[in-house]
C-alpha cells in the first residue's frame, strides 16, 4: 500500500523523522538556508497529503486552490500570517502552528535583545574589535538602566506573560496592552492593563509581541513613535509588519526615541545596506527568537505530530481556526 506523502519545505535533521518513517513517505527541499522556490513547492504539493512549511512560504488562496486535496499544512511558527487560514478552512484543510514549545526561548531572546540594546552591548563589542578602546572614561558607552524602569508589553499572550515574569526580576513596573484584558496575568504576575496610548506615553521600554493582522499592521507608526518618551527603547520580536520601518528610522535618527532592538523586519531577509543597520542606536538580529537547538527540534516534532494526527483521522494538537 502506498504511504501518504509529506513534503517538507526546508532541510531538517533526518533523525526527527525516524518515529514516523514507517507510516509516511517524506520528501524534502534539500537546502537548509534557502527557501524552496514557489514553483517547486507547487509541483511537490500536487502529490503530497500534507505539507510542513516555514514562515517563508506564502500559502495563499491560489496555492490552496491548486492543492485543495491537501489534508494539512503544518506551519513551523506560532504566527501564521504567511498562510491564508480562512481559505484553508473553507477548503477543509487543517492549518496548525507551534505555540507553547517556543514561549520561554522567545522570551529569553526578547529580554536579551532588550538588555543588549539598553546597555549598548553590540556597540561596545564593536568598539573593541575596531581597536577604539584606548582609555577608561566615566561615560564611555553609557547606556540605560533596566532595573526599576517601566516596561510596556503590547500583546499579553504566552510570550508576553513570560517576558513580564522576567521583568519582575529587574523590579520593573509592568504595563501591558492587549485586545482583551488578561486578568489571570494581572493576578499572577502583577501586570497592569492600560490603553495603548498610555503605554506608549509612560513606558521606558515598549515591546511588540502582537501577531501580524490587519489591525496590527503598522501599529507602531509615526504617531506611535511620537507618543513615546525620547528616552524610550523599542523592541520588536513579533513580526516586522507591525512597525513602519521608515517611521522608525526617522524616529531613531532624529532622537525622537533613544534606541531599538529588532529581531524582525517588514521584508526578510534584509541586506547589509538596510538603513536601520547604519544606525548605532539599533541592534538588529536575523529573526532568531525561538532559535535554540532544543526548541527548534520541538517545533518540528509538533508539526510532525499534527500531521500524523490528521493523516490518522484525528484532530491535530494545535489547530489554527479563523472564525
Q: Which residues participate in catalysis according to the annotation?
A: 239, 268, 287
Percentages (nearest 5) of helix, strand, coil residues in the chain:
35, 15, 45
- Residue among 161, 228, 224 nearest 189 (CA): 161
Question: What is the greatest pairwise CA distance in the chain?
Answer: 75
Residue 303 near residue 76, CB atoms below 8 Å:
yes
- Strand partners for 220: 243
Half-sphere exposure in the Cβ direction for 145 (13 Å, CA):
7
Helix, strand, or coil (residue 193): strand
- Strand partners for 26: 6
Angle at 319 between CA 237 and CA 158, to 5 degrees: 35
H helical segments located in 138-212:
158-168, 183-189, 196-202
DSSP 238: S
In Å, how far from its chain's centre is CA 132?
Answer: 35
Question: In whole angstroms, what is the distance from residue 54 CA to residue 137 CA?
Answer: 47
Amino acid at each position: 500500500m502506498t504511504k501518504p506523502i509529506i513534503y517538507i519545505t526546508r532541510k531538517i535533521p533526518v533523525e526527527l523523522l525516524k518515529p514516523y518513517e514507517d507510516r509516511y513517505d517524506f520528501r524534502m527541499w534539500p537546502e537548509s538556508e534557502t527557501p524552496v522556490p514557489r514553483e517547486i513547492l507547487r509541483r511537490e504539493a500536487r502529490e503530497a497529503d500534507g505539507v510542513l512549511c516555514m514562515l517563508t512560504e506564502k500559502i495563499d488562496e491560489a496555492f490552496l486552490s491548486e492543492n485543495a486535496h491537501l489534508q494539512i499544512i503544518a506551519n513551523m511558527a506560532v504566527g501564521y500570517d504567511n498562510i491564508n487560514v480562512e481559505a484553508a478552512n473553507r477548503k477543509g484543510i487543517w492549518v496548525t502552528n507551534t505555540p507553547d514549545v517556543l514561549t520561554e526561548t522567545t522570551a529569553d531572546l526578547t529580554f536579551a535583545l532588550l538588555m543588549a540594546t539598553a546597555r549598548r552591548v553590540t556597540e561596545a563589542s564593536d568598539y573593541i574589535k575596531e581597536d577604539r578602546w584606548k582609555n577608561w572614561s566615566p561615560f564611555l558607552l553609557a547606556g540605560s538602566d533596566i532595573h526599576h524602569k517601566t516596561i510596556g508589553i503590547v500583546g499579553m499572550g504566552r510570550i508576553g506573560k513570560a517576558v513580564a515574569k522576567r521583568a519582575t526580576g529587574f523590579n520593573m513596573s509592568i504595563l501591558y496592552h492587549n485586545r482583551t484584558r488578561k486578568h489571570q496575568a494581572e493576578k499572577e504576575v502583577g501586570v497592569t492593563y492600560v490603553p495603548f496610548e498610555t503605554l506608549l506615553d509612560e513606558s521606558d521600554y515598549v515591546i511588540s509581541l502582537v501577531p501580524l493582522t490587519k489591525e496590527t499592521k503598522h501599529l507602531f507608526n509615526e504617531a506611535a513613535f511620537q507618543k513615546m518618551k525620547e528616552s524610550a527603547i523599542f523592541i520588536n520580536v513579533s513580526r516586522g509588519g507591525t512597525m513602519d520601518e521608515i517611521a522608525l528610522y526617522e524616529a531613531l535618527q532624529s532622537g525622537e526615541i533613544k534606541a531599538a532592538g529588532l529581531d524582525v523586519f517588514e521584508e526578510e531577509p534584509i541586506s547589509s545596506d538596510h538603513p536601520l543597520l547604519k544606525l548605532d542606536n539599533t541592534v538588529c538580529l536575523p529573526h532568531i527568537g525561538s532559535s535554540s537547538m532544543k526548541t527548534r527540534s520541538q517545533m518540528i516534532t509538533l508539526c510532525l505530530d499534527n500531521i500524523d494526527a490528521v493523516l490518522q483521522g484525528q484532530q491535530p494538537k494545535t489547530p489554527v481556526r479563523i472564525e
